[in-house]
Structure 1
């Protein structure tokens, strides 16, 4: 095998070339095994959702389940009064597959059902692993599978949709908490009320959380029980399809936050111990099976049946619901036997020390290949904190095949800066390093804060900056406070520098763009099962008497500016000035010049920066009055570089501008001198 491009591009990986190449060969060998040495495709392999679970044919209903440890299985439901009848007994077809066939007239739309399973030493009711709809009884709170067979299934109007990735601008969202009222929101409400906001704000993608069914709402959707069932607490499968279809109509891609890193440990609701065994989908070693930090179960990616289940799950959401791709949650936990807990990851040796899970890495590679085989335009994103090389590199180059990786260092940097640094010590060199430090051959999704930074026990960026003053000084009808003025100014600057230094895409969590107050806390016993903090107060952004709209309006202008440059994320980004003692940073992309003065007190008159010679106009100003600033600059004035014989041969001159404290300016080069 020739040396992989991944290693050629990074000589520091050469000492680990044997490990990297062995993993690459393992991935190739496993794909050959699953596809009968290439006679089939991965897409052919990933069709389990068309075989297992409850299927309707022209003649009958057929239910199949993989349960090798079972000794007896019955199908029970509302259609047979939950009795274990002989005509509903499943037959063992071999290889652990059980099957039952039921006449069409016996089972109807909205019927409830479960499996009653016996195994050596026990028995229990189980929800089929491959079921496509699960509902919870409002009185007993018990979950059951439900037949979804409406007279008319939803028909997609928009087919062949292609996500806009120039760049990918993601609005991360949660359907349940997207309503203003203190309750769980629905797919229909999101489609009607939130999608228009996303479009108006200029984002071209939504990343939807908590789609896969989960028994505990407060898990934020990360303790999945039924992997093929869209959460029924938000509505029906057809209503989810209508949401996705409407998003495509608006030019908005829909990315699913998919959880294949672990599963809920609940036995009655989830896939744990369906056949009485502990290692059906999970490792036989209890230490590897149980995730101590998450109180959940880890998959055994070395089993072909598990690969079949998870790969089929990827294809199912693409084919049946027209999702445009996935953000894979908890990738770090998958990559390492330690789940990344307690690891340092300070040198390359930490990535190749024998503590990596080659089967999990193989699964991720196969998943990416499958997804792009099913939909070549699909988008895949890895949520991964360790910095594993090659994650967002093409498979043929030795990578894992993700299109993007989350730039998880950036939100950590901003939180650390706000918490630990005095304003005078917000050094441009550090800001530049954190926002642009990434592997040259891998695209990233940059962000200031996602849902992670807003959960209870933490604080959003705006709340860190303003804190309790948000309760008293966000009205434009009252006197402002220093903390509010500072917070509004820095909130805009932080977002501007993060969003305009991207090499792939940018993400925000819904509401954070306008400084949604407080934290996120889902209903739980500790808060009296309240929805107060599990909702979005959209009226705050719409009320022009409040200052929240300043931040929302700025975000719209910022996104509009980014989208005004074709393929903004691929344009060269050139730092042209940084001076820590002045707290000044400047860089250029295409014809846009970004200048920041992070100093809390010093404003600079006629501050000189070496820039391409020519005429400039201000196209965005964080200090502008419409964005809650003080309007200290006259944005109508054009700026001209001053000739300097020393730098003229390089096409540069001195651009002098007034830079108020805590202000970011974006200037556009109109006429470049030659």
Structure 2
């Protein structure tokens, strides 16, 4: 019987055999893992077995290191020296174990492992370590016993799943205005209320897994089960998530399973002296651009490690789902580097890592078994069919795919086209181009578009005028243009979004400049690794109007259930740069023309009365106030169910109307 994925897209029929084989591989691997359990999730518990655990009378520590000849526990309890009393013993299948009296270890005590193998040895951090801290002076990382006397207990139920996620992407460390790393507590107290006030229903937290290099933005993970100690303690992360839940906001995690840091003392690389314990052997185990290690997704132990990691964050911290980073790098042996995926054959030509495809499907199985209303989002630039299709249909089971073409399109348009050259037909096509069977998250810009060497959309629009002409008492044509287009770009992006929307922290109000973490090249400066909230809070600056607009935009989209309908174009007037489309009874109207307003723009529209919901030119949003919101528009009868509408559409304005 043909899989539904192939049924839905006839162009996939030549590759039906490959798709079916991949599907069988997923089901076969699932059966291998569940021969003793009913559900896959019940067999993925590596974090309950490995690592350090406190029982009633003792401490138990276990590690998997099949190539090791000896492993020793090092710490403050034995002056960091190799000692036979702290030697682990073999426990079979490459596992090692040690049991210590309850009084040997205490909360916050530091420890590491000394792993020996034929021909060498090295100090390592445990593979399942849950707490890692760095010495302020030596810069050495150590595991830390984390067994607080009063662990944080969650008080609030998880909010119900939002079928249309409005996602606020955030980085804890750069959430403060101070030139330092911010904390979970600061984020909970000072940033979370801003997010709730704006109307976002989901927070996506970046850089949660421990990473030795702050400048990696959290994408070079060393310790997959450890909360990044830069931002605070595991208890403080739990308190943040609990607080968000109490305010009706779900929290998902930006999880990195696409690769691991190359570091050996801090990470998994050459943990037991071999190159291929966790990673592919040879060149395939090394990412050529990221200088990192690539997991061997065909190994049972590695699959168990990663699948258990998904379960761990859901159960231990009450995350509500994940955004999986770097899917494209996982899916292809060449990591998709410098490839343009222009035809279907490029998804089925043997360049695909089918072990990774199996892993991603199994990860989604585990996630939704542990938490049925969890959401999982794939970051895949290649557009491989099936990524966001159900496993039963032949897909990988992600709930959503990031619509990565949208921000790329905006940057290309702003870089290469004059305002007068914006083609609204192309614009509508690019913003709505997606696979029908998949749910997608759209966004104008995420953190990616603002990294050092690039600019935020607002900074690209206004450039140096952001430093001199943002006062409410000034008038500047460059800033006027930037304010207008910033609002329009966001409104048309969410207006055409299929299933959800994402914004990166601060970009909603036009945060200037770029993101650049402390590094040698900038003198280890925090200047660009922070958010300048005082700019949006200053009533004498125009940034606050963009913030007010963002709130009104989200409320308009939510209150009118815009995502319940697909965008249907009414007008794509390329000559006059007017774009009009409907979503159910809601009409979006845009005039991208930089100079020409149209006082009596006539077009065919559904019959009825139309009233204003929102317009970017409103004085409340720093506009000119050219629209009278009290005006009601009635269609003139043309034929049954259809009429002609006439609107005043000012230049550089977007608006929403509702039919009744």
Structure 1 unaligned regions, length at least 5: none
Asked if structure 2 preserves the Cα contact closer than 8 Å seen for 1:76 and 1:88, the reply is yes
User: What's 1:104 paired with?
Assistant: 102
Segment of structure 1 superposing worse, 608-617 or 10-19? 608-617
Q: How does 1:415-430 map to 2 (within 5 A)?
A: 415-430=411-426
Aligned to 1:615: 609
CA distance in 2 between counterparts of 1:469 and 1:160 reads: 44
SS in 1 for 2:401: strand
- 5 Å matches for 1:296-445? 296-445=292-441
CA shift, 1:654, in A, is 1.5
> How many matched pairs?
660
- Aligned counterpart in structure 2 of residue 591 of structure 1, from 585, 589, 592: 585
Can you list the C-alpha shifts for 1:79-115, whole angstroms capped at 9, x where unaligned? 2211222111000112110110000011000000000
* CA–CA distance in structure 1, aligned partners of residues 487 and 530 of structure 2: 23
Residue in structure 2 matched with residue 232 of structure 1 by the alignment: 229
CA distance in 2, matches of 1:115, 1:222: 25
d(CA) in 1 for partners of 2:261, 2:519: 17
> Is it true that 1:574 corresponds to 2:568 in the alignment?
yes
Q: Distance in 2 between matches of 1:93 and 1:570?
A: 55
Contact 2:158–2:250 (CA under 8 A) maintained in structure 1: no
1:47 matched residue in structure 2: 45
Q: 8 Å contact 2:560–2:586 — kept in the other structure?
A: no
Say whether 1:531 aligns with 2:529.
Answer: no
Q: When the two structures are superposed, what TM-score results if normalisation uses the length of structure 2?
A: 0.99
TM-score normalized by the length of structure 1: 0.97
| Residue of structure 2 in register with 1:489 after alignment | 484
Is residue 214 from structure 1 mapped to residue 211 from structure 2 by the alignment?
Answer: yes
Tell whether 2:147 aligns with 1:157. no
1:232 and 1:351 map into 2 onto residues whose CA distance is 40
Using the TM superposition, give the Cα deviation of residue 40 of structure 1 relative to its aligned residue in structure 2, in angstroms: 3.6
> Separation in 2 of the partners of 1:114 and 1:159?
37
Q: Secondary structure at the match of 1:552?
A: helix
Q: CA deviation at 1:39?
A: 3.9
Q: Which residue of 1 aligns with 2:552?
A: 557
Tell me the equivalent position of 2:119. Answer: 121
Structure 1 residue 537, shift from structure 2 partner: 0.7
* Farther off after superposition, 572-581 or 218-227: 572-581
What does residue 28 of structure 2 align with? 29
Structure 2 CA distance, aligned partners of 1:183 and 1:435?
38
Deviations 1:255-297 (A, max 9, x none): 0000000000000111111111111100112x10110111101
Which residue is equivalent to 1:604?
Answer: 598
State the Cα RMSD in Å: 0.9
8 Å contact 2:167–2:200 — kept in the other structure?
yes
Q: Which moved more, 1:153-162 or 1:209-218?
A: 153-162
**What is the aligned counterpart of 1:86 among 70, 84, 87?**
84
Structure 1 CA distance for aligned equivalents of residues 563 and 648 of structure 2: 28
- Distance in structure 2 (CA, Å) of the matches to 1:160 and 1:225: 29
The aligned residue for residue 4 of structure 2 is 5
Match of 2:458 among 448, 458, 462: 462
Could you give the per-residue CA deviations for residues 517-574 of structure 1, whole angstroms, max 9, x where no partner exists?
Answer: 00000001111111111010111111111000111111100000011024x3231321
1:176 to 173, 177, 180: 173
Query: What are the within-5 Å matches in structure 2 for residues 181-196 of structure 1?
Result: 181-196=178-193
Deviations along 1:504-527, whole A, 9 cap, x unmatched? 110000000000000000001111
Deviates more, 1:627-636 or 1:551-560: 627-636
Alignment equivalent of 1:59, drawn from 52, 57, 82: 57
Q: Distance in 2 between matches of 1:426 and 1:336?
A: 35
* Mean CA deviation greater in 155-164 or 96-105: 155-164
Please tell me whether residue 643 in structure 1 is matched to residue 637 in structure 2.
yes
Q: Is the 8 A contact 1:344 1:350 kept in 2?
A: no
Between 38-47 and 103-112, the greater mean CA deviation after superposition: 38-47
Quick one: distance in 2 between partners of 1:534 and 1:106? 41
Contact 1:163 1:252 in 2 (8 A): no
Deviates more, 1:168-177 or 1:87-96: 87-96
- Note the alpha carbon deviations across 1:384-430, whole angstroms, 9 max, x for none: 00000011010001110000000000000000000001111111111
Tell me which residue corresponds to 1:261.
258
Q: Matched residue of 2:636: which SS?
A: coil
Separation of aligned partners in 1, 2:399 and 2:566: 19
* Cα distance in 2 between the residues matched to 1:91 and 1:365: 36
Deviation for aligned residue 1:630: 1.0
The residue number in structure 1 matching 2:133 is 135
| 623-632 or 445-454, which deviates more | 623-632
Q: State how far apart, in whole Å, the 2-side matches of 1:501 and 1:344 are.
A: 24
Structure 1 counterpart SS, 2:248: coil
Structure 2: runs of 5+ lacking an equivalent = none
Query: In structure 2, how many angstroms separate the alpha carbons of the residues matched to 1:191 and 1:80?
Result: 39
Tell me what 2:625 maps to.
631
Task: For 2:563 and 2:277, locate their aligned partners in 1 and report how far apart those are by CA, in whole Å.
Answer: 44
| Aligned-pair CA distance for 1:355 | 0.5
Question: Could you tell me how far apart the structure 2 residues matched to 1:106 and 1:159 are?
Answer: 37
Instruction: State the shift of 1:160 in Å.
Output: 4.5
Instruction: Measure how far apart 1:618 and its partner are.
Output: 1.1
Distance 2:494 2:77 in 1: 55
**In structure 1, how many angstroms separate the alpha carbons of the residues matched to 2:495 and 2:460?**
23
Deviations 1:113-136 (A, max 9, x none): 000111111111100010000001
Alignment match of 2:196 (pick from 190, 194, 199):
199
Among candidates 502, 505, 520, match of residue 507 of structure 1: 502
CA contact (8 A) 2:166 2:500 kept: yes
What is the alpha-carbon distance in structure 1 between the residues aligned to residue 59 and residue 83 of structure 2?
16
Deviation per CA, 1:196-253: give whole Å up to 9, x if none.
Answer: 0000000000000000000000000000000000000100000000000000001111
Residue range with higher mean Cα deviation, 217-226 or 495-504: 495-504
CA shift at 1:342, angstroms? 2.4
The residue that corresponds to 1:248 in the other structure is 245
